[in-house]
Structure 1
Amino acid sequence: MAGIYIYDIINILWIHHSRNGRIKVKLLKIISIIVTLIVFVYIYNYDQISKFRVRDIRIDSKKVRNNLKITQISDFHSNDLIDLEKMEDKIKKFDPDIIVLTGDIIDSNDIELDAVIKLFETLSRLDKNIYFVQGNHEARQELYKDLKDEMKRLEIIILEDNSATITVNNEKINITGLKFHSKSREYNEVIYYQEAIKDLNLDYYNVLLRHSPNNVENILSGKEDLILSGHTHGGQIRLPLIGAVVAPGQGFFPEYDKGIFRTNDTILYIDSGLGNSAAPIRAFNPVQISNIIIEPEK
């Protein structure tokens, strides 16, 4: 309907000013500018939501003697625009010790799992241990049981309020994963977390996988070295010099949007994700994966 109204207005102006060639030229210029802007915005947004970047992160720690390399993938939201062959190549060149999936790999609106299965099969070809934690979209998705079956088939390790201790480059590493707990149940998360880590040697390097960074400070034991999260999408739309406009659970101009945040000896890293929810729109914030190197403190 809006297009019909615009056409009618242009037609009236054209007829009314048909004797004035200059008006017609100006009108054509305005239309040309509007069309050019629309095309530019479309091309720019398509690049932002489909052409993933690789973000390289380096963290030092006095608790490791050898490098630990982690690839983090978050908030895929079944984004079938992602070039998975290119991603496989990028990760293969980085050669991580482990791959972590920090939630919202599916979207709550999905009716099938094709895009996610393709992602899982791509990552499985890399022959790395893959660890998964649940996000809010998995928590409310009827297909989550089917998703878990696919992960088990491909030997992806699901962490739901539990932990694993692994050996990487002669280093013992604790990895704990918390499934998504709604705000009304966050008070229970402290109990689940303490139960998950009670048998760990916390003198090892400790990695916590938690989909949302919101209120993470409420559950910490003080022994966490690295927390890997997603959820925020970096705000999807960011403004230069300002950052994210809005993030779920934090409102406008959130504190925790993307990147590294430090609290004492604990580092929180938020990956802005490979997909989008609500609307496929991004600005100054392209989709990404993160290659993280934890190296000995010098």
Structure 2
Amino acid sequence: MLFDIISIVCIFAIICLCAVLIESRRENHMLSVSHYTITDKRIKKSATFAMIADLHNAEYGDKNEKLIKEIKKIAPDAVLIAGDVIVGKKDVSPGVAIDLLQKLGSEFPVYISKGNHEMRTGLYTEQYGDIWECLYEQTKDYAHWLINEKATLASDNIQIVGLDIDAAYYRRFRLQKMETDYLVKLLPTRHQDAYTILLAHNPDYFPVYAEWGADLVLSGHVHGGMVILPVLGGVVSPMVRLFPKYYRGMYECRNKKMILTGGLGGHTLKFRVNNKPEICVIHLEGE
């Protein structure tokens, strides 16, 4: 009798696992579009941005034609990318990311910040070779790489700042403390009267970004927590922390906002359940 019960439980578990794997495979080939509207009196002219992150060399259709088509349908004023377009592994070509940035940059203004994969391939060249150099050199004429730099959209009174933080802030298992002074020293002085968008790949430091003065933070990195459970939310972050506080959606701190995308791809465990790859559409409007 006990053997029969154990057998039934094992069979049920295998069926559930197979169902989850099938669903994950299905979701990894889908695209979702999420819309966010934000109003602020400093915005002189309404603007629409398409925001993506964590491509990790993923392809939607031949040479990402499906992804590009979806972005064209949005007809954004600019495309904002919060890092990790590549996979930071030895001998993994950045060709997919280069092709996408060149195509998007031929159609729209593109502003992009580094993620941890771009950071480490540029920092540890003895391990990763020329991956970062190839990516940057072949896309710099198509995309504005904001590496602790800013760009100002004068007609809209909007400034976009790209953040590139130290490797210590991407360590697994524990959260390295970040002080606001670190950002003050790292980033250019922002215009107090402008609406500031901060492209910051790691969302864990949202309260620090808000204290620094970012009006809107755009982040990725967490991949939506891979599996999103009802009530509990995202299950695990790339920092190997269970049920991360920030995993996907819009958050608020100090009257500042953060939009955290579930991302487009993966690099080690390409696992998604209730967490479709995502393009975020951000509508900025004056009050």
Scaled by the length of structure 2, what TM-score is found? Answer: 0.82
Match of residue 86, structure 1, among 66, 90, 111: 66
Q: CA deviation at 1:38?
A: 6.4
Query: 2:236 aligned with 1:257, yes or no?
Result: no
Q: Which has the higher Rg, Structure 1 or Structure 2?
A: 1
Identify the residue that residue 59 of structure 1 maps to in structure 2. Answer: 38
1:183-202 to 2 correspondences below 5 Å: 183=168, 190-191=181-182, 193-194=184-185, 196-198=187-189, 200-202=190-192
SS in 2 for 1:197: coil
Match of residue 82, structure 2, among 89, 99, 102: 102
SS in 2 for 1:215: helix
1:1-298 to 2 correspondences below 5 Å: 40-81=19-60, 84-109=64-89, 111-125=92-106, 127-141=107-121, 142=128, 143-152=131-140, 154-167=141-154, 170-183=155-168, 190-191=181-182, 193-194=184-185, 196-198=187-189, 200-249=190-239, 251-297=241-287
State the AA in 2 paired with 1:150: Q
Give the whole-Å Cα distance in 1 for the aligned partners of 2:265 and 2:86.
10
Q: CA deviation at 1:249?
A: 3.6
Q: Does the Cα contact within 8 Å between 1:75 and 1:103 map onto a contact in 2?
A: yes
Q: CA deviation at 1:192?
A: 5.0
- Which runs of 5 or more residues in structure 2 are unaligned? 122-127, 170-175
Q: CA deviation at 1:195?
A: 5.3
Give the whole-Å Cα distance in 2 for the aligned partners of 1:55 and 1:219.
23
Scaled by the length of structure 1, what TM-score is found? Answer: 0.79
Q: CA deviation at 1:273?
A: 0.2
Give the whole-Å Cα distance in 2 for the aligned partners of 1:242 and 1:55.
21
Check 1:264–1:257 CA distance in 2 against 1; reply closer, same or farther (3 A cut).
same
Give the whole-Å Cα distance in 2 for the aligned partners of 1:263 and 1:282.
28
Aligned pairs, number: 266
Give the whole-Å Cα distance in 2 for the aligned partners of 1:214 and 1:180.
12
* Further displaced range: 133-142 or 266-275: 133-142
Q: Does the Cα contact within 8 Å between 1:178 and 1:193 map onto a contact in 2?
A: no
Identify the residue that residue 125 of structure 2 maps to in structure 1. Answer: none
CA-to-partner distance for each residue in 1:85-114, whole Å, 9 max, x for gaps? 222222112111111111111011252122
Q: CA deviation at 1:240?
A: 1.6
SS in 2 for 1:164: strand
Give the whole-Å Cα distance in 2 for the aligned partners of 1:80 and 1:124.
17
- Which runs of 5 or more residues in structure 1 are unaligned? 1-22
CA-to-partner distance for each residue in 1:268-297, whole Å, 9 max, x for gaps? 111110011321111111111111111123
Give the whole-Å Cα distance in 1 for the aligned partners of 2:120 and 2:24.
28
Give the whole-Å Cα distance in 2 for the aligned partners of 1:254 and 1:295.
30
Check 1:192–1:36 CA distance in 2 against 1; reply closer, same or farther (3 A cut).
closer
Q: Does the Cα contact within 8 Å between 2:159 and 2:195 map onto a contact in 1?
A: yes
Q: CA deviation at 1:157?
A: 0.6
Q: CA deviation at 1:232?
A: 0.7
Give the whole-Å Cα distance in 2 for the aligned partners of 1:192 and 1:39.
45
Q: Does the Cα contact within 8 Å between 1:85 and 1:122 map onto a contact in 2?
A: no
Q: Does the Cα contact within 8 Å between 1:190 and 1:219 map onto a contact in 2?
A: no
Give the whole-Å Cα distance in 1 for the aligned partners of 2:179 and 2:139.
27
SS in 2 for 1:139: helix
Q: Does the Cα contact within 8 Å between 2:46 and 2:156 map onto a contact in 1?
A: no
Give the whole-Å Cα distance in 2 for the aligned partners of 1:284 and 1:220.
29
